[in-house]
A = this chain, B = another copy of it.
Amino acid sequence: MKLSLNPQAINDVLDGRWAEGRRRGRELALDPRSHEDPADDLETTRAKTLVGVGLMADSGLPLVSLPPELGGKNQHATNVAGFEETVTAAPSLQIKAGVQFGLFGGAILHLGDAEQHKKWLIDVQTGKLLGSFAMTEIGHGSDVASVATTATYDVDAEEFVVTTPFRAATKEYIGNAARDARAAVVFAQLVTAGVNHGVHAFFVPVRDESGDPMPGISIEDDGYKGGLKGVDNGRIAFTEVRIPRTNLLNRYGDVSADGTYSSPIDSPGRRFFTMLGTLVQGRVSLDGAAIVASKIALDIAVRYGLERKQFNSVDEIEETTLLSYQQHQRRLMPALAAVYASNFAHDKLLASFEEVFSGADDSEENRAVLETRAAAFKADTTWMALDVIQECREACGGAGFMAENRLVGLRADMDVYATFEGDNTVLLQLAAKRLLGDYAKEFSNLDIGGVARFIGTRAAEHSLYRTGLANAGTAISDVFSGNLSEKRIRSGRLQRTLLENRVESMVASVAQNLRPAMKMSQAAAGELFNSTQHELIEMARAYVELEKWKALDEKMKEQTDADQAKVFRRLRDTYGLTLIERHLGWHLMYGRLPMFRARQINDTLNRLCAKLAANALDLVESFGYGDEHRRATIATGVEAQRQAEAADYFRRARAQEDFPVDEKHLRKAEKAAAKAAAKAAAKSGNRSGSKAGVK
């Protein structure tokens, strides 16, 4: 059952094309000055996190993504991969650094012009100018188009006047705001010459040299949150704050001195989505960060599960190791498989991210693919991380609840990943609309006008999205045809067909349901759309699951070492069958899977998980982390040491004459003796009886 694996070789596969970035990030994460201690108070934790941000800046990593004219290398994925790995130091560090370099710096890079780059960008990416990314308001988070802060151009002064018109328009949950930011990129409705041109980004100084808020700026501290203690979130409100005209980040929209608005993109809707699209890095890196956090949790739980023993279920004396229990395997091994699948899907996401942002292929189509995947993957993976970390925490019992074993802290920090940078349910709907748009384009001869109404400007405009779903159409009948030789449930073709077919059928079903919408009033159409919302979201998750499965399947096929290929197959089948089991009702209800085959799944998964458990240590060792990344007492071997001490004690004690005997053994012996005596008595009675009879 156990395969001979080389964790270093598997680590190379996992780290993939951006291995260098990952190694740099992992190296950075080792510095104890940025490590949180649960006993630290809020300000100490924030200060440590800032030290970590400084270390990252000093490493030069944030400069890598800049264009060559600013001393950068125009490398985007390396940079992101490195950031993701700093989750092993602390998710707070990844987020605070993400705000500073990815969002604040990223907005200047992508939304500003060359002059603005020169003025601010080097200072930002070297950590000299600390900043915030002020988009979300109390009243509007995921619906960015509705933010209510205004920036009104004053033609006489050649300045914008930034204002928070009412309380709900206060910028909220803004990272770096409560303590460290000197400036912020503020998203506000740009108004000039009596026209509101929609949301644009502005560079606004928020604190002076001594750290006091600038005139007209009021800042409040968000205080304690469910996690991310090292990130100083806060609220920012503006009362007639004046900034120079040239502080408008003007790549996609500018205002001339006389107040004339101009933009290279004519359609206000398209312009808005293009601006937002440049900020996709945040979602990409959350996808990756959630994978890193899941890896650390599994690394800890698997190591503990291989040492910790409880209950002597197989042997009279020797207790059983946790990971030998079937349920323990069923808790942790599917999680391991999901993390592997997510890892390879994320690598493909990074590849597309690199293509778009390096300029190698920044076509409209490629951007659309990137944005759709980033949104959908971020949603699925951040939820996966919460489930995986919680499973790991429970699998470690009470020890898992101790802060010193990291799991509870990791989970608390990752919690908000499910709702920030776009609420997961909103992001999945965004992805779902793209899938519908594709479908509408592909079958444009059909009357599916209703769909067009909902898929939004951007989705309606982009060219055919490459889901590849069109191929799945007829495959389902092939798989169950008499010609099929792969009869076992582990057939990759079967898994792929089921997963593909589910996405395609759901897309077709939703599109069909939306057909009448075109002829309806807005209210009626809105209600019709709402009545499919649950299915829409399920459909987008089904799409991500398929994409992750395919990424793992592809990677499996690349493996040349026999045992390594075998373990990848086990991972793929475990992931695939877990997905099919999760949606088994669907596959059966629509006749995709015969009942007898469905009944094989549970046992097959049991066997697969047992096989994976035999190599569980190799599979977590392959993540490439050391004790100093895990920093969990229970994963350092103390459990095995304690057990050795206990075993040693019992060995020595039993050797002594006065070691107490167990009452239950005495009772057994008594019973046995009584039985023997009764037997003997009966025998002798019989004998004397027969003797008497003879007499």
Contact surface of A with B, Cβ cutoff 8 Å: 38-39, 41-42, 136, 138-143, 146, 148, 152, 165-169, 172-173, 191, 194-198, 222-227, 261, 267-269, 310-316, 319-320, 324-327, 330, 386, 390, 393-394, 397-398, 400-404, 407-409, 411-412, 415-416, 418-420, 423-425, 522-523, 526-527, 529-535, 537, 581, 583-591, 595, 598-599, 602, 606, 642-643, 645-646, 648-649, 653, 658, 660-664, 666-667
Contact = CB atoms under 8 A, between A and B. Distances in A.
Closest 10 interchain pairs by CB? A584-B585, A226-B408, A314-B526, A38-B224, A224-B403, A588-B588, A326-B533, A168-B642, A196-B660, A589-B598
A530 B313 CA distance: 9
A496 B136 CA distance: 47
24 contacts: A138-B642, A146-B312, A166-B649, A168-B642, A191-B660, A195-B660, A195-B662, A195-B666, A225-B401, A225-B402, A226-B411, A227-B401, A227-B408, A268-B664, A314-B530, A326-B533, A394-B418, A394-B424, A401-B415, A401-B416, A408-B412, A534-B606, A583-B585, A584-B586
A166 B646 contact: yes
Contact of A420 (B197, B227, B398, B588): B398
Given A529-B313, A660-B191, A398 B136 contact: yes
A412 B140 contact: no
Contact of A327 (B314, B412, B533): B533
Contacts of A530: 313-314, 324-326
B400 A419 contact: yes
A392 to B, nearest CB: 12
Contacts of A315: 522-523, 526
A689 to B, nearest CB: 32
Contacts of A141: 310, 397-398
Contacts of A581: 585
B267 A667 contact: yes
B646 A401 contact: no
Which of A320, A598, A660 has most B Cβ within 10 Å?
A: A660
Contact of A398 (B191, B419, B584): B419
A223 B39 contact: yes
Contact of A169 (B227, B400, B646): B646
B316 A403 contact: no
A191 B666 CA distance: 13
Given A224-B39, A403-B224, A416-B398, A143 B664 contact: no
Nearest to A271: B663
A240 to B, nearest CB: 15
Contacts of A324: 530
Given A534-B330, A584-B584, A148 B310 contact: no
A532 B313 CA distance: 13
A649 B165 CA distance: 8
